[in-house]
Structure 1
Amino acid sequence: MSARGRGPGDRSALSRCVAIDTASFASEYWATRPLLTPAAELGQDFSDLFSRDDVDELVSARALRTPFVRMAEEGAVLPPSRFTAPGGFGAEVGDQVSSEKVLAEFADGATLVLQGLHRTWPPIAEFTRRLAAELGHPCQVNAYITPASSRGFDPHYDVHDVFVLQVHGEKHWTIHEPVHPDPLRDQPWSDHRAAVAERAAGTPAIDATFGPGDALYLPRGWIHSATALGGISIHLTIGVAAYTRHDIVQEAVARAADAASLRASLPLGFDPADTEALRPIVEATIADLLAVLGGQEQDTTAAVAHRLEARRRADTPPEPVRPLATVDAADALDPEGASGVRVALRAGLRPRITADDSSVTVRLADKSVSLPIAARAAIERIATGEPVTVSDLPDLDVGSAVVVARRLLREGVLVIAHGDA
């Protein structure tokens, strides 16, 4: 197993959340209906990802700041001053989590929420990167730590899909069908507060108690609330910010900037309140837009793909690099030792590789790295994502392979691959 770490048995990330095969999940459940999977079917728990001790470490020893931590009680979010404080001399920032205040609020029944664990807790960060790659949509992770017999939030829906992984204790979940299916990110449940409350008072679609190792998939829009039972409950909520057809519409319409007719100014004296005058302008604009999109479908598809890929890169950062260790590794790399050093493409980087007659270029979100065209086969081998021994980089003598590997290590394209491939 590589040093990056994988779940028990090197299982795929999605298979740790659902017990059915990916094709069945995609066709029968994804973005459609919930799926509750008992621990017995998954055959594992989530102790390698998170635990009670991990909660205590994050609160007591990691100097978390808002918004990476929040607390709530009976549906109301507590003001940060209730659970944060300055860190003392040399750390006077006032919004650091206070372990003493958290203790007081938690003992009094408040739920603790550790947010953005995909950025602060390495096992979850690695798991989340792999899950996002498998789903094709960005993911983020929060942990909800609830005292016995406490409810953290009122019935509500999320504007993203979620996987719920029960880590510790028991929690009773009540889930109802949507009142606003497939909500977009700017369509929160509070826009439909009365309808949500009415639906939550009816017969639930799922009414179940989750124990350690149980997992739930819940599409966006499904109404839910949860209550801890008999002791402390800890669960992870993996939010999946699914890209939608509306995103494609937005990115396609952005192509309007390429059409001169759609960049034209509106008439002098334009009055948006004059609907009769506005109607022909709107009709002509829509006709021109459809002509632009329909007449250049291939170009529009390519442009949409480029824009969505740029969004995905921004939404899902690659794995972090270790600056000091990387510099040491690059400096130590030489032809004599190249046969004993394995490197791999940095997880989640997703570079674009282009080439011309003289050079091959690794295009990243924020920069491009160009190398002589002789390195093209080596770059294409690296881009597969599979670890490779430096001396085995194709079409390069060992000295040139070392030069390429050093450059790509320092540029944050490669990392040292430890352990098994």
Structure 2
Amino acid sequence: MSFNREYTEALDRLIAPCAIEDFIDSIWESRHLHVVREQKGERHRNLDDLISIDDIDELLTGTYAAGQRRWDSVRLGKDGELLPPDQFLSNRNSSFAQVDVERVLAHYRHGASIILNNIQEAHASVARLCNDVSRFFGVPVHANAYLTPPHAQGFPLHFDSHDVFLLQVAGEKHWNIYDAIILLANATHQRDTYDAPAAPPTRLHLKRGDVLYLPRGLLHEGLTTSEMSLHLTIGVHPYTWSDLLHDIVSALAQKDVDFRRSVAPSLVFVDEFHDRLERSLLALSARLADTSHARRVADRRLQEVRALRRGDHHGALSQAVRSRPVAAETVVQLVRGLDPVIQEMGERMTVSFASKTLVLPRVVGAQVAALCSGAPSCAAQLPPTLDEDGRLVLVQRLVHEGLLEVLRPTE
């Protein structure tokens, strides 16, 4: 099994020294993995530069407290239970509320954990990590932060309906991990409550820089010691076989009338209907077995996920303010975090990225492919199948549209 090196760097940062091939083959969706910071070695980047307590302070007291946000952007948990939102939010309507920072801090001082949800929307380094993990798995990825005071348990015993990488940023935390009651549980299974299994848990102690992978469905609970704890959860939302089959059937129903024919539930128990039911199921199942349908649906799903990713535009505004005209020798590169989708349609082609689609003449395909490869380049170095003026105009437009960024402006 081989992987694109550009896509594996973020995952390698989390699980090294475990090889990615070993992780996918024997750990992913099967069992937990505890990576101790000291095991990583010098060649693997640690997590020190990802986020800090000062960053969490700024997010809570600045970003999250500035105006109304989604009501569940901040949650508090104490003694294994979530606190009612009205204990720390104000001016709440159906979707948004104002975070009362004073009350949040008061609850923390009295033993409550602070949970900041979806911080990839507000923190550049975490956003980059989520984007890169998303590129590897091809699914949406989010990040939450959990700040827990000493001798506390913010969240009850629970399991997640998505796979999780726990990153211990500061302090330390004890974890009890139990066998899954429902293997690879989904969101529907979370509606029920479950007691801890009779078998004793696996007990782990996470220190700063450690990483813990938990497959969805695995029951777990975390408790702090005499130290506080700050950890991130990187949530990887699965696209399952049932999701794929559902999407294939939905796509086929748009084109194939047999998938739109009705099934009267009352006839299922009529003897004469059994043969017809069996014939229909066999015929429709045979069409599902055509792998071309699966490829088209999976590709469309991948494009939808790609479109959700935001590029890393840090510094782009300063560059735009100070920018000089892009010349033939101006070095440009694909904006970090973007994963454009290129499609050809007759004499035209489309380039889709970050919820935007550009329509270009197909004749520029070789140049666009070179520019989207991720390698630094300039108009003068692009394939000569387009004349010099055409190559320069193309680069200028792609910089203007936000697909490319200038690395080294010409003097």
Q: TM-score range, shorter-chain basis?
A: 0.7 to 0.9
> Mapping of 1:314-333 within 5 angstroms?
316-319=308-311, 321=313, 325=317, 328=320, 332-333=324-325
Q: In 2, distance between residues paired with 1:211 and 1:107? A: 22
Contact 2:338 2:353 in 1 (8 A): no
**1:388 is matched by which residue type in structure 2?**
S
Shift of 1:86: 5.8
Residue 405 in 1 paired to residue 409 in 2? no
Contact 1:342 1:418 in 2 (8 A): yes
Q: Report the more deviating stretch, 324-333 or 95-104.
A: 324-333
Contact 1:251 1:308 in 2 (8 A): no
| Secondary structure of the structure 2 residue equivalent to 1:213 | coil
| Secondary structure of the structure 2 residue equivalent to 1:197 | coil
2:77: which partner in 1?
A: 72
Residue 380 in 1 paired to residue 393 in 2? no
- TM (normalized to structure 1)? 0.83
Which of the residues 382, 390, 395 maps onto 1:393? Answer: 382
2:287: which partner in 1?
A: 292
Shift of 1:95: 1.7
> Mapping of 1:56-205 within 5 angstroms?
56-64=57-65, 65=69, 66-85=71-90, 95-188=97-190, 190-191=191-192, 193=193, 196-199=194-197, 201-204=198-201
**2:39 is matched by which residue type in structure 1?**
E
1:415: which partner in 2?
A: 405
| Secondary structure of the structure 2 residue equivalent to 1:371 | strand
1:96 to 1:255, Cα distance in 2 relative to 1, 3 A? same
| Structure having greater relative contact order (Cα 8 Å, sep ≥ 6) | 1
Query: Deviation digits for residues 160-184 of structure 1, max 9, x if unmatched?
Result: 1111111111100000110100112
| Secondary structure of the structure 1 residue equivalent to 2:329 | helix
**2:288 is matched by which residue type in structure 1?**
L
Q: In 1, distance between residues paired with 2:251 and 2:310? A: 28
Shift of 1:323: 11
1:332 to 1:86, Cα distance in 2 relative to 1, 3 A? farther
**2:57 is matched by which residue type in structure 1?**
D
1:224 to 1:321, Cα distance in 2 relative to 1, 3 A? same
Query: Deviation digits for residues 231-282 of structure 1, max 9, x if unmatched?
Result: 221011111112222222212222331211222345xxx5x45641475665
2:20: which partner in 1?
A: 22
What fraction of aligned residue pairs are identical, expressed as a percent? 30
1:47: which partner in 2?
A: 48
Shift of 1:227: 0.4
Q: Report the more deviating stretch, 119-128 or 403-412.
A: 403-412
Segments of structure 2 that go 5 or more residues without pairing to the other structure are 1-6
1:20 to 1:53, Cα distance in 2 relative to 1, 3 A? same
2:215: which partner in 1?
A: 219
Contact 2:333 2:374 in 1 (8 A): no
| Secondary structure of the structure 2 residue equivalent to 1:172 | strand
Shift of 1:48: 0.9
Residue 344 in 1 paired to residue 342 in 2? no
Shift of 1:147: 0.8
Q: In 2, distance between residues paired with 1:146 and 1:418? A: 44
Shift of 1:110: 0.8
Q: In 1, distance between residues paired with 2:195 and 2:331? A: 59
1:63 to 1:301, Cα distance in 2 relative to 1, 3 A? closer
Contact 1:346 1:413 in 2 (8 A): no
Q: In 1, distance between residues paired with 2:164 and 2:362? A: 45
Shift of 1:61: 1.4
Contact 2:139 2:302 in 1 (8 A): no
1:4: which partner in 2?
A: none
RMSD of aligned alpha carbons = 3.0
**1:15 is matched by which residue type in structure 2?**
D
Q: In 2, distance between residues paired with 1:101 and 1:69? A: 12
Q: In 2, distance between residues paired with 1:244 and 1:378? A: 36
Residue 234 in 1 paired to residue 230 in 2? yes
1:243 to 1:219, Cα distance in 2 relative to 1, 3 A? same
| Secondary structure of the structure 1 residue equivalent to 2:208 | coil
1:90: which partner in 2?
A: none
Q: In 2, distance between residues paired with 1:418 and 1:226? A: 48
2:4: which partner in 1?
A: none
Shift of 1:413: 2.6
Q: Report the more deviating stretch, 346-355 or 140-149.
A: 346-355
1:13: which partner in 2?
A: 10
**1:304 is matched by which residue type in structure 2?**
V
**1:77 is matched by which residue type in structure 2?**
L
Q: In 2, distance between residues paired with 1:202 and 1:227? A: 19
1:325 to 1:51, Cα distance in 2 relative to 1, 3 A? closer
Shift of 1:359: 3.5
2:269: which partner in 1?
A: 276
Residue 369 in 1 paired to residue 358 in 2? yes
Q: In 1, distance between residues paired with 2:392 and 2:300? A: 35
Segments of structure 1 that go 5 or more residues without pairing to the other structure are 1-9, 88-92
**1:167 is matched by which residue type in structure 2?**
V
**2:269 is matched by which residue type in structure 1?**
E
Contact 1:13 1:127 in 2 (8 A): yes
Contact 2:334 2:371 in 1 (8 A): yes
Query: Deviation digits for residues 310-362 of structure 1, max 9, x if unmatched?
Result: 44235x42325579839937983243xx4133231552333123154x44432
